[in-house]
Amino acid sequence: MHRTQIYFEDELICEIKKAAQQTNVSMSAYIRNVLKKELANKQASEQPLDFYDFIGL
């Protein structure tokens, strides 16, 4: 694991704190989870569709 320092605007950090508290995780864990989901979604959307599965070939 790597440690990094990121600067957030005051309004954004308040939203992050609130969301982390609602999900009962630390701010760091919340940020990691959000980034993992974002990267997974991006990777999934980059996968080409295989239409052979739809047409039964």
- What digits encode the pLDDT tens for the residues 11-52? 999 999 999 999 999 999 999 999 999 999 887 776 666 667
What whole-number distance in Å separates Cα of residue 8 and Cα of residue 27? 12
Binned at pLDDT 50, 70 and 90, residue 9 comes out as: very high
The region, left, alpha or beta by phi > 0 then psi within -120 to 50, assigned to residue 28 is alpha
Q: Indicate the DSSP class of residue 49.
A: P
H-helix or E-strand containing 40? helix 27-46
Average pLDDT over residues 7-14: 96
Q: What is the pLDDT of residue 44?
A: 74
pTM, entire model:
0.71
Q: What is the pLDDT of residue 49?
A: 66
